[in-house]
Structure 1
């Protein structure tokens, strides 16, 4: 699945937060009553924007074949349409049994509609069930819970790092090396200029991408500081965060990003350009490995077996951390309606999708990285694809410490807007930091 379905419409999610805050209710006859049953029999409904429809069908078919008497009615939407559908169902007491969610804002908007899942997890995987998951997934699963609420209202299905990708064909042709520092990034961009491609393609039109690039910069400048600022223990106007805004600005003023970056979206435009070979570097994330899904035919040459790509971490910033920092988190999580008529079957299906036979079908498509450790595709199409997979799952994901999300939709929007204003020259880094801090004070 392409990430524009996952990450677009952040503004829509923010708008929904107010609408949904008071929405509560259970499953209606149209939804969960049809799933009345016990154990492995009965019918469930599943609604989400991810995984893609073809992959979801494989997961559902695998589960129902192993559980005679069960049925799962699944519908996969584009992300913006999914938000509208979920809002409608919440307000009309027709919540699906199994629900696709994102950590933080989206899960919290529906918290009153969701069943705590820790008992389901312990029943399936044992008392130490949390150890099955990458740590960042467990941390983010309770992102935004009220103080003292330790429930898991969703469990991660897929996780990811945010990072950069290199077109290795261009790098090899130009004799360039993967940049590890900011100065190396600048010199590499200069070295790669002059071709019929962008040395560093930045799809800055999308708020989600602006934010994840900034969080990589900020966590290189001062690891963990953005989250202290959001918690109110530090200020967004802290000099180190002003410095992070300054380095974001330098992507534009020092001509590292291509001209017109603020008008380019990540999906479909930026991704299509990168896959066509029209960029040497792009900031995306671990999900890019899905371009090499072996179930697809007619893959572009660069994507076949990941032959033309290499992931790398955002270069370090002068005076900041000596090593690049790992930023990432949950791609998609799953929840269960608290009013489902068949909680046992819903639990069994949800846990199968996360770590059972259904999960294996999912991971075989390289849709993203599994939320549980040790789950790998049954088939790799090249040594390069396997090498990249191992880098992402065994070297990077266990070390992801910093979230690619902020807790509140208001702050997510405030940060994205401030970064846009810096990119277009409407705000200085200091003014942008002050504006985000003002938004933080209002939220608190």
Structure 2
């Protein structure tokens, strides 16, 4: 397990930077914080932000709130759910922790405080109108988390510098994709890096496929409102299998995690494409490229151009340009926290303050606070700016959520995709197995 701890104590930073609090996110009166040394420490666990990207948020928050110290722990997503749930259940977990729409929010709901009173007091009675898709982080009327960033799947990212160096064009159709991948592999590179060990990335790709075949049917089916055992879903499994059989995905994809394995291989220049969504938008910024130089020790990354494209048309007649998603990451406060006021102050500052959300906008992620616009000032090239602007209409009209609310259905689909990819299950049997899981979950 990769766990890194960053403890920041910057009470003097406000004086050093001359920072003034532009938004008064003082602790609410809902909880019972009782610091004994004049400073409250809030423990914060997340898979996103990581240890690098969390730093500016923590610095800015502590500058505005010198009475609160944030103790951050980063955990890779592959380990995050089990580690965090175990710690929260045993009473040794964080005060603030990341959550995600769907099964993760359902899982963490019993361990989370209801943030509604804090939102009403801090943001106002109309808080649900000011923040995007808060309903996706609510369970049985309880506001389990507050959205931090809004993202969508349905994209592929290109290492445009590598693609251009090979004299190629990013493919938009299935035929172009096969030709493109053959040329990339002939140059000794992987074509499309896939972390197929992780079911979430496989499900993202499957959604991209089924949304071309039968737009919207996926979301009705996984919610128990329609059958999953139909020819359209079987066809989507067939297309999924072809990505392995036709060499679109790299050899050994089923043994690679999306993070760090596939992510690192792509950013180190080992692959031309990767099926990540808009949560990677900061790859277009000078700031992020500088972080990659530090992380990977390769100065050439400072001049590498990463560009997002809509997922290619892998089905004849399929519609591209459709995105799916919502709040990618939200923040919850542990119901067992002994510093709920300070914890809620931090969680809401990240998600519902101008200061916190403007930092989000600078990373070129869609802010959850509707009044904060996307900031393209740090984006490197005009090509990247155009690509990011093209996402706007798709993000504002997403076809459905990325995550599945039933953990059992999500597991069944992830298992089916792995079994089909490895040849252990036919597409028809996979669709039937997922349909059976849906029936069991919603009977």
TM-score range, shorter chain: 0.7 to 0.9
Deviations 1:249-277 (A, max 9, x none): 12123333334333333333322222232
Residues 158 and 369, structure 1, Cα contact 8 Å, conserved in 2: yes
**Displacement of 1:241:** 0.7
- Decide which moves more: 400-409 or 291-300: 291-300
- Decide which moves more: 433-442 or 121-130: 121-130
Residues 308 and 387, structure 2, Cα contact 8 Å, conserved in 1: no
Inter-partner Cα distance in structure 2 for 1:399 and 1:378: 21
Select which of 267, 271, 274 maps to 1:279: 271
Select which of 264, 268, 274 maps to 2:260: 268
Return closer, same or farther for 1:133/1:64 CA change in 2, 3 Å cut-off. same
Inter-partner Cα distance in structure 1 for 2:134 and 2:65: 28
Select which of 366, 380, 399 maps to 1:401: 399
Alignment of 1:161 onto 2:152: yes
Alignment of 1:242 onto 2:234: yes
Inter-partner Cα distance in structure 2 for 1:193 and 1:295: 28
**Displacement of 1:288:** 2.9
Inter-partner Cα distance in structure 2 for 1:154 and 1:408: 18
Q: Name the SS of the counterpart of 2:186 in structure 1.
A: coil
Residues 275 and 302, structure 1, Cα contact 8 Å, conserved in 2: no
Q: Name the SS of the counterpart of 1:200 in structure 2.
A: strand
Partner of 2:134 in structure 1?
A: 138
Residues 151 and 366, structure 2, Cα contact 8 Å, conserved in 1: yes
Partner of 2:310 in structure 1?
A: 313
Q: Name the SS of the counterpart of 1:402 in structure 2.
A: coil
- Decide which moves more: 54-63 or 295-304: 295-304
Select which of 191, 203, 208 maps to 1:211: 203
Partner of 2:194 in structure 1?
A: 202
Inter-partner Cα distance in structure 2 for 1:280 and 1:90: 40
Residues 34 and 43, structure 1, Cα contact 8 Å, conserved in 2: no
Partner of 1:18 in structure 2?
A: none
Normalized against structure 1, the TM-score is what? 0.78
Return closer, same or farther for 1:440/1:363 CA change in 2, 3 Å cut-off. same
- Decide which moves more: 368-377 or 418-427: 368-377
- Decide which moves more: 387-396 or 323-332: 387-396
Residues 293 and 301, structure 2, Cα contact 8 Å, conserved in 1: no
Residues 222 and 320, structure 1, Cα contact 8 Å, conserved in 2: no
For 1:241-390, list aligned pairs within 5 A: 241-291=233-283, 292=285, 293=288, 296=291, 298=293, 300=298, 303-304=301-302, 307-318=304-315, 321-338=318-335, 340=337, 343-356=340-353, 357-361=355-359, 364=362, 366=363, 369-373=366-370, 374-376=372-374, 380=378, 382-384=380-382, 387=385, 390=388
**Displacement of 1:340:** 4.7
What is the aligned residue count? 405
Q: Name the SS of the counterpart of 2:193 in structure 1.
A: coil
Return closer, same or farther for 1:280/1:298 CA change in 2, 3 Å cut-off. closer
Normalized against structure 2, the TM-score is what? 0.78
Residues 32 and 341, structure 2, Cα contact 8 Å, conserved in 1: no
Q: Give the superposed CA RMSD.
A: 3.4
